[in-house]
Amino acid sequence: MAERKAFLLRIDRALLDDVQRWANDDLRSLNGQIEFLLRRALRDAGRARTAEGKDEGRSTKYEEGGEKTDAGESRQDKEDDQ
């Protein structure tokens, strides 16, 4: 198991209550739910480490609704810029 590090997190009370309710629904501890959400956010952003501990880096392709474009922009992002 990976080394665990304790730290203080200042968070809005309503946000904490919402995450606690979600944790309860998923039968996780509050800490487990926060770790789950952070890991998923890292993975979705292409910033999660591999099993070997290496940084995966950012992907050059972004997929949204089945459409892929280069440079990490979705087709919608490009249309919004115009």
Residue ranges per domain, the chain? 11-48
3-state secondary structure string across 10-30: CCCHHHHHHHHHHHHHCCCCH
Give tens-digit pLDDT for 15-56. 999 999 999 999 999 999 999 999 999 999 999 987 766 665
Q: How confident is the model at residue 2 (pLDDT cuts 50, 70, 90)?
A: confident
Q: Is the pLDDT of residue 8 over 60?
A: yes
Of 50, 26, 48, whose CA–CA distance to 38 is shortest? Answer: 48
Which residues lie below 8 Å from residue 49, measured CB to CB, with a gap of 6+? 55, 56
Closest CA to 71 of 53, 58, 55, 57: 58
